[in-house]
């Protein structure tokens, strides 16, 4: 596999904007629509923006705000924002469906999230999915709509941000979720079947619940369909990444930790993974512990990719490649390198894909570049 890296937007100089969470939908004929937002602190994001490419990601338009996907004051010096948005193109309706979730801030910081909930009478801060819809010309026809799941109305959170979903037929999609309950720190997971008509997402049913009650439990599940089987990969806090397999995308077998074909179990602590399919092969994109990155937070550099053997559900060790390397800036100092824990792939064709990432450089006041890797 050939991998070529380029910088989309530069801000290591601090003279521009640090664009983070870049995620794109491929609309065909070379056109892509990206959602992204600027970052000013740990999990502290400004409003959702969009950018468009007309040449398969070679060049991008200047980001502009998505209407009604910014911050809303809700009282008590708390603002509600939107983050972790993933856009996907729906060919039958020629629309882009962009789903993320809400997030709370106070005093310039993330507020009351990731399992640290306190259910108080005023306010009750539930986290839930929010979505927006754009037509093929990039005009937003619906924004900041809540995706309702009736039997989770009393949950502390149910979210599907940063995830990969699967379209079924013309009007259905499978979405992986995690959810939390008041008084319980770890989150659980499931997939839900929803209907999409080009305007609205409607919940239909969900499958069995997956659990791993270690730390914050299950986070950022990613779904794919490959050779008529469905696969989940999940971010966990037990030191590994986990996967599960299903025949229908709703009912899942037991989770298991990822392993290499040589029997090694890689350490993938608390970092998301993503699927990629190229030329009929299935790949996993991930971070893991290596001899030279142990000084980095959660080993979030380099970003790696390896082919999956679906028959054995193992990563083929000899196919592992570096997507984004450890940058040569500060490789011997703790927390002093660009990290790649938030990234997203998009297919351009059966044999070409992009992986988009915003550098996370907390040691440099989040003055970071936005990068693109082209895989062929």
**For range 270-295, the mean pLDDT:** 95
The architecture CATH gives domain 3-375: 6 Propeller (2.120)
Of the listed ranges 79-88, 97-106, 166-175, 293-302, the one predicted with least confidence: 293-302
Pairing of strands 109-110, 78-90: unpaired
Mean pLDDT of the chain: 93
Over residues 79-95, the pLDDT tens digits come to 999 999 999 999 999 99
CB within 8 Å of 15: residues ≥ 6 apart: none
CB within 8 Å of 349: residues ≥ 6 apart: none
Using the predicted structure, report yes or no on whether residue 335 has a pLDDT greater than 80: no
Over residues 5-37, the pLDDT tens digits come to 999 999 999 999 999 999 999 999 999 999 999
Higher pLDDT: 282 or 123? It is: 282
Residue 173 tokens, joined: 């999609």
Looking at residue 327, what DSSP letter applies? P
**pLDDT recorded at residue 118:** 54
The proportion of the chain whose per-residue pLDDT surpasses 70, expressed as a percent, equals 95
- 74-113 as b/e: b if 16+ CB within 10 A: eeeebbbbbbbbbbbbbeebebbbbbbbbbbbeeeebbbb
**pLDDT recorded at residue 42:** 87
Looking at residue 154, what DSSP letter applies? T
- For residue 169, what are the β-bridge partners? none
| pTM, full prediction | 0.95
**pLDDT recorded at residue 122:** 59
CB neighbourhood size of 374 (10 A): 17
């Amino acid at each position: 596999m050939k991998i070529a890296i380029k910088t989309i937007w530069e801000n290591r100089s601090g003279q521009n904007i640090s664009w983070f969470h870049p995620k794109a939908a491929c609309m065909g004929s070379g056109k892509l629509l990206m959602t992204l937002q600027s970052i000013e602190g740990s999990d502290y994001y400004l409003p959702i923006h969009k950018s468009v490419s007309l040449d398969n990601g070679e060049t991008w338009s200047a980001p502009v705000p998505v209407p009604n996907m910014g911050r809303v004051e809700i009282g008590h010096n708390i603002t509600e924002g939107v983050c972790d948005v993933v856009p996907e193109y729906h060919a039958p309706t020629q629309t882009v469906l962009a789903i993320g979730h809400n997030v709370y801030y106070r005093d310039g910081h993330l507020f009351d999230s990731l399992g640290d909930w306190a259910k108080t009478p005023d306010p009750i801060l539930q986290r839930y999915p929010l979505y927006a819809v754009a037509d093929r010309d990039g005009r937003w026809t619906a924004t900041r709509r809540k995706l309702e799941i009736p039997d989770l109305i009393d949950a502390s959170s149910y979210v599907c941000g940063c995830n990969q979903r699967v379209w079924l037929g013309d009007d259905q999609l499978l979405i992986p979720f995690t959810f939390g309950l008041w008084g319980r720190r770890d989150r659980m997971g499931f997939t839900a079947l929803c209907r999409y008509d080009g305007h609205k997402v409607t919940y239909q049913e969900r499958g069995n619940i997956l659990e791993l009650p270690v730390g914050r439990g299950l986070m950022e599940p990613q779904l794919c369909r490959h050779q008529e089987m469905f696969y989940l990969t999940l971010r966990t806090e037990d030191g590994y990444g986990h996967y599960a397999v299903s025949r229908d995308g709703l009912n899942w077998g037991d989770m298991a930790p990822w392993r290499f074909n040589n029997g090694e179990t890689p350490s993938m602590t608390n970092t998301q993974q993503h699927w990629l399919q190229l030329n009929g092969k299935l790949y996993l994109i991930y971070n893991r512990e290596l001899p030279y990155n142990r000084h980095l937070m959660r080993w979030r550099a380099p970003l790696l990719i390896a082919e999956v053997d679906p028959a054995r559900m193992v990563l083929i060790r000899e196919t592992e490649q570096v997507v984004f390397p450890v940058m040569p800036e500060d490789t011997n100092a703790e927390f002093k390198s660009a990290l790649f824990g938030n990234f997203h792939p998009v297919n351009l064709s059966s044999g070409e894909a992009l992986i988009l990432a915003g550098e996370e450089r907390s040691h440099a006041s989040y003055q970071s570049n936005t990068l693109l890797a082209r895989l062929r």
